[in-house]
Every structure is written in C-alpha cells, then in structure tokens.
Amino acid sequence: MGQEHAAHLPGSKGVLRGDRQRRPRPDRAAAGARERRRQRRGRRARADRARAARADGAAHESLNVPVVQVEGLARRYGEREALSDVSLRLQSGQTLVVFGPNGAGKTTLLRVLATLLRPHAGSVEVLGAPLPQQAWSVRGRIGLLGHEPLLYRELTARENLRFHARLHRVKLSRVDELLERLGLDGRADEPLRTLSRGMVQRAAVARAVLHEPELLLLDEPRANLDPAAIELVEPLIGPAPGRTRVICSHDPHGGISEADQVLGLRAGCVALLRERARVSVEEIAGLYR
C-alpha cells in the first residue's frame, strides 16, 4: 500500500515519510479498530446495565418495596446448617441489629445479603433484586464491612482505596477526603501490614462506604476502634436518610439503641424478631445463656 493510502487508515495520521517502523500495518489497524469497537460495545452494555439497575432502584423506592426481603432462607456449609428458615423484611432507611452467640449465623446472613454466599433454600431479595440471579445489578449499591478488612496488606491504605474507587468509578478525591475524615492521612502511604488493628479497621470502614452504598452491612463495625475513632466513623456508618443498615453486634445496650428492628439468632434459627420498642436488654442477654 502506498503512503497516500496509508494516510487514510485509522490511526495513521501523522505517519512520516520514510518512518516505516512507526507506520501501522493494515491488519494491526483493523484489529485495533475491532478492539475499540468491542470496548465501546462493552462500555455501552455496562452503562445500559447500570441505567437498568438505577431504574430498578427508583422503582423499588417508589413502590415501597423492602430493601431486604428474606423468606425461609437456609444456608449450609457442607453438612452444617448455618441458617435455617430465616425470614425478615427491612424497609428503606431502617436499621436491623442482629444478635446471637458465636456461631449463631450472623456473619453468614450478612454474607448472603452481600451476594457473597448463595442461599441454599428460600428466597432473598436485596434492593429489589432476587439473589443470586440478579446479584450483579445490586453489588455496586451494597457496602460490606466484615470481620476481614478486604484490603491488600502489602498496599497502602491510599492505594487500596484508589483501587476500589476505580472499581466503583468513584472520584479519587473521595479517597483523600475519607482518609482525612478518618484521621488516616498521616499514615495513608505506609503498607497496611504496618498499621495497627484500629487503623486497619478505619481503612476498612473507608472501603465499605467509598461508593456511598444504599445498603450497609456491618459486622461488629466498631471492633478495635478507640472512642475517638468511633466518633469519626459515626457519620459514615451511622443512621442517615436513604441508608439502610444490617449490623451484627454483641453489645445489647449499644445495639438496641441504634436498632429499628432486632433479630436474635440461635444456632441458625430466628429466636427473636421484633421492633426495638418491644425488646429488652434482658431478652438479648438471654440469647447468650
């Protein structure tokens, strides 16, 4: 192909006469164009899915569909039944606090709601999406703060959060804002493995709320935090309009005070499910006897 033709190929603008090695080969140029078309299609499909998910979200709010609706949920690990016949509903803006002794199934419930574990029986809907079928459509609207920080130990807090910001298409300035609000900016550029447990927990809080999720799933969220840190995290994980929360707790007084509904689990079964006003601290204590 002569150079006058090469000048019309996509990407060939500015090819210099005699600069043979920099001239794109036609097969490469066509492959490049195909790849760009494929990427554009991928971006359009992702945008369509996100639009559909937002429309679903808006529909579920306007119809007053519960943010969490669970019916007859069961989940096993091998032979061990971790949850059996659990049913509950949670409306937008409400907080459900889950109590129960070690091994009662609290974390398992949170992981099912976070779309990380499939239900083995029963039905689970989160933000209007049935799980696991439509898990993809709601993952970006859920924030999970678990027992594990879900952060890379070799990366710094800032690098970890920037990684998650890119995944959620969140502005990188939000990372700096959160690091400052959580009092981590002085240590944000050291590997996570060199930070104290409380500092790592602060970084984990930042990760969970980075994308301002509508549903927050918090597993003992104040574990390892000092009183000053508890105050700092409060605006980020505390009650807020449009923020629905499920919190696992071992603190009857503190837990009841922030609950709209209280769930007590025992050996994977619902032992108690009631509005806060109708639950006493003694009843919660009774779950542990």
Q: Does 103 bind ligand ATP (CB under 6 A)?
A: yes
Q: Phi then psi for 162, rounded to 5 degrees? A: -65, -40
**88, 104, 199, 263: which one contacts ligand ATP (CB under 6 A)?**
104
Size of the site for ligand ATP (CB under 6 A): 11
Q: Does 107 bind Mg ion (CB under 5 A)?
A: yes
Q: Does 102 bind ligand ATP (CB under 6 A)?
A: yes
Using CB under 5 A as the binding rule, the residues of this chain from 109 to 138 that contact Mg ion are none
Give the shortest CB-183-to-ligand ATP separation in angstroms: 27
Q: Does 221 bind ligand ATP (CB under 6 A)?
A: no
Only segment of 10-18, 22-30, 76-84, 118-126 that touches ligand ATP (CB under 6 A): 76-84
Check if the beta carbon of residue 121 is closer than 8 Å to that of residue 86.
no
Rounded Cα distance between 144 and 219, Å, is: 8
Q: What's the distance, Cα to Cα, between the start and end of the chain in Å? A: 85
Only segment of 57-65, 71-79, 106-114, 269-277 that touches Mg ion (CB under 5 A): 106-114
- Give the one entry of Mg ion, ligand ATP, none that residue 203 binds, where binding means its C-beta sits below a cut-off of 5 to 8 angstroms depending on kind: none
Give the shortest CB-147-to-Mg ion separation in angstroms: 6
Rounded Cα distance between 160 and 162, Å, is: 6
> Token pair of 104, please?
């009662």
Beta sheet of 261-266, edge-to-edge order = 142-145, 215-219, 244-248, 95-99, 261-266, 269-275
Tell the burial category of 89 from Cβ atoms under 10 Å away from its Cβ (0-12, 13-18, 19+): middle
- Give the one entry of ligand ATP, Mg ion, none that residue 198 binds, where binding means its C-beta sits below a cut-off of 5 to 8 angstroms depending on kind: none
3-state helix, strand, coil in the chain (%, to 5): 45, 20, 35
Q: Does 108 bind Mg ion (CB under 5 A)?
A: no
Which stretches of the chain bind ligand ATP, using CB under 6 A?
77, 80, 82, 100, 102-108
